[in-house]
Structures are given as C-alpha cells and as structure tokens.
Amino acid sequence: MFLTTSHDGFGSITASFTPIRICCQNTLNAALKNQTGAVKIRHTANAHERLKQAHKLLGITNQLGAEMGQLFNHWSKVKITDKQVKKLVQMAMAPNKEMLENIIKGKKDEFSSVFVNTVEKVLEYSETSLTQQFETTKGTLFGAYNSVTGYFQNIQNYKTDEAKFNSIMSGSALGKVQAAFDLCSDFARIGVNALN
C-alpha cells in the first residue's frame, strides 16, 4: 500500500495498493500506472476526515500485516477446485440468508439474474486477471479470496471514488469480503465441508 500527495494543494492525495516497491519517482510513476483499489482524496474541506479514515486503514494494515501475511501464505498452499471456488464465491456474494440457503441446497432455479451475473463477473476476474495467474493464486484458496476482493476493487462500478471507498471500508463490499474471508478460513481448517 502506498500514500502520495502533490504537496501543492492541486493534486489528490492517493492511497492505493501496488505490487511495486516504491523507492524513487520512476517507481512511483510505475505504481501509479499499475495501482489497484485506489482512493483519491481531493484537497477539500472533508479531506481531513478522509485522511483520518485512510490513517485508520494504514494503522490496521500495520498491526495485522504480519499475521495476515502468514495466513495468506498458508492459503496460497491450500488447493481448491474450480467447482469449489464457484460455490465459495456464490456463498460469499449471497445478498441475503434466503439466497445462501438456496446455494447450500443447490436450488439454482431460485437464483436471480443479477446474482448469477455478479458471480460470473467474479469468476471471470478469477480466470482472467493477471494477478490470478500466479502460482500463489491460481487454483489456491488465496486466489479464491483474491477473486472476491479483486472484483470489488477492480471490476465493480461505483458512482464516485468516495462511494467506492465507503463500500470497501464499511459498506456492502466489506460484508462480502468478510464473508469470503470467513469461508476461506473455514475451508483452510476443515476443507470442503466448509461449503456445505
């Protein structure tokens, strides 16, 4: 994760994730071109509040970084089939308990078109994103989790950057990502029975 600002009051403050280690202007430019899940904060009256939220996110990231790194490294070694990924994604993306029950019982005729299309977009991201083709993601539990988080950060349409930030930090995206995290945690512990 990186945070950058122009210091002149004209450019936005940007917080984003990148696989690039930033050490100079050239690597910063590369990171800005390849960023995912960017949050841009304009230098306006509410910038201070948005910065507090970003600071909170950074604090959480620092505190949990090592622990999450170990967990994700473990998940990158846990194999999962395409069929299991689909069910995990369906369960994580379920809009309500009724839909979750339909998924568990295999009542596909009860799935709404909106739900089916959303699941297909998550699975398409899982199959086509370059980050999903690495040895640590392709066919792994970490890849399954990353497909849900990647959907909300890179595919889902939001009206504004602020709407995206709010959804990921405290809205509907956060709930789905948490559901995916819980399902992956259970799958890592007890295997395929976590999807029943």
pLDDT digits (tens, 9 = 90+) for 134-185: 999 999 999 999 999 999 988 999 998 888 877 887 788 889 999 999 999 9
pLDDT band per the 50, 70, 90 thresholds, residue 53: low
Cβ density class 91-124: b for 16+ within 10 Å, e for less = bbbbeeeebbebbeeeeeeebeeebeebbebbbe
Specify the residue for token string 């100079």: 24
d(CA 125, CA 155): 8
pLDDT of residue 131 exceeding 80, the answer is yes
Note down the domain range covering 52: 1-66
pLDDT of residue 28 exceeding 70, the answer is yes
More confident residue, 125 or 23: 125
pLDDT band per the 50, 70, 90 thresholds, residue 196: confident
Q: Which of 17, 47, 66 is the last residue of a domain?
A: 66
Q: What confidence score (pLDDT) does residue 187 get?
A: 96
Q: Which of 42, 66, 90 is the last residue of a domain?
A: 66
Sign of the C-alpha dihedral, residues 5, 61, 72, 127?
A: negative
Sign of the C-alpha dihedral, residues 9, 15, 18, 20?
A: positive
What backbone torsions phi and psi does residue 49 show, to the nearest 5 degrees? -65, -40
CB 141 within 8 A of CB 75: yes
H or E element, residue 196: none
Specify the residue for token string 């995290």: 181
Q: Which of 66, 93, 113 is the last residue of a domain?
A: 66
**What type of residue sits at position 115?**
F
Q: What confidence score (pLDDT) does residue 119 get?
A: 97
Mean model confidence pLDDT for the chain: 84
Same domain, 42 and 8: yes
pLDDT of residue 128 exceeding 90, the answer is yes
Q: What confidence score (pLDDT) does residue 12 get?
A: 73
Q: Where are the alpha helices (DSSP H) in 76-150?
A: 82-93, 97-105, 113-128, 141-150
| Torsion angle in degrees (nearest 10) through CA of 174, 175, 176, 180 | 90
H or E element, residue 50: helix 47-75
> Residue 71 falls within a domain, yes or no?
no
Same domain, 178 and 83: yes
